[in-house]
Amino acid sequence: MLALRLLNVVAPAYFLCISLVTFALQLFLFLPSMRQDPAATRLFPPALLHGALFLFLSTNALGNYVLVIQNSPDDLDACQGPSARRAPCPPPSTHFCRVCARVTLRHDHHCFFTGNCIGSRNMRNFVLFCLYTSLACLYSTVAGLAYISAALSTSFAHPLAFLTLLPTSISRFFSGAVLGSEMFVILMLYLWFAIGLACAGFCCHQLLLILRGQTRHQVRKGVAMRARPWRKNLQEVFGKRWLLGLLVPMFNVGGESSKQHDK
């Protein structure tokens, strides 16, 4: 349990460090290199478009990250008190988290990167956090590849060029042909790519469970799916005004889970 509580502190710090490093690289390396592009005389310079897109992705990722932490799942203390005899909580919908030391409604899992349980009140923000984190990391990978391609005069037209970039760059780094800043960007490329793919897979998995009306906890316990249309399950999490939530990080825009408990 001590190791889990320590991970609950280290993982959010690790995520915030990665976010700060990514923002610094975008601001001090990628954007200045784009301003030197001859095509920057257009109506919409590449640096301006890149900065606006990265700001949109990072703002939504960090905004939903904060909302996941701020909007914790409902603490069902009544399930452990005398009132539990009058209104017992349904076992398939609740779970006691040892890390958070509380019973949560519609428990899905405990996310160590946010240091919080994912349940009825923050599932929507968690899915959007995974989505925008994936997009921001993959977009940073593309921007980093463009920077490395110009700095090292390397072409990534061949599909295997990205896979062989790291071993060849390590040998060139020790020989002095690759600068330390360029080597750091190359290492970050693989980290962004791995995080982007992992978050994309996790987002798709969570969306599939939402469409089926299940949570990860219910799948582990073997609880059957709720007999409801997939549109109803999707609306319960994302709400009727879901498009607004895709553009601006907000808490449960019209979601039914913010209005009532799971029955």
Residues with catalytic annotation? 111
Give, in order, the Cα–Cα distances in Å from 71 to each of 28, 148, 206: 34, 40, 18
What residues pair up with 102 in beta bridges, in sequence order?
A: 97
What residues pair up with 88 in beta bridges, in sequence order?
A: none
Q: Provide the residue count of the chain.
A: 263
Alpha helices in 110-215, H assignment, sequence order: 123-152, 165-174, 180-212
| CB within 8 Å of 27: residues ≥ 6 apart | none
Q: Distance between CA 256 and CA 259 in Å, rounded?
A: 5
Instruction: Give the dihedral sign, CA 110/113/115/116.
Output: negative
Closest CA to 73 of 120, 115, 126: 120
Which amino acid is present at 102? Answer: R
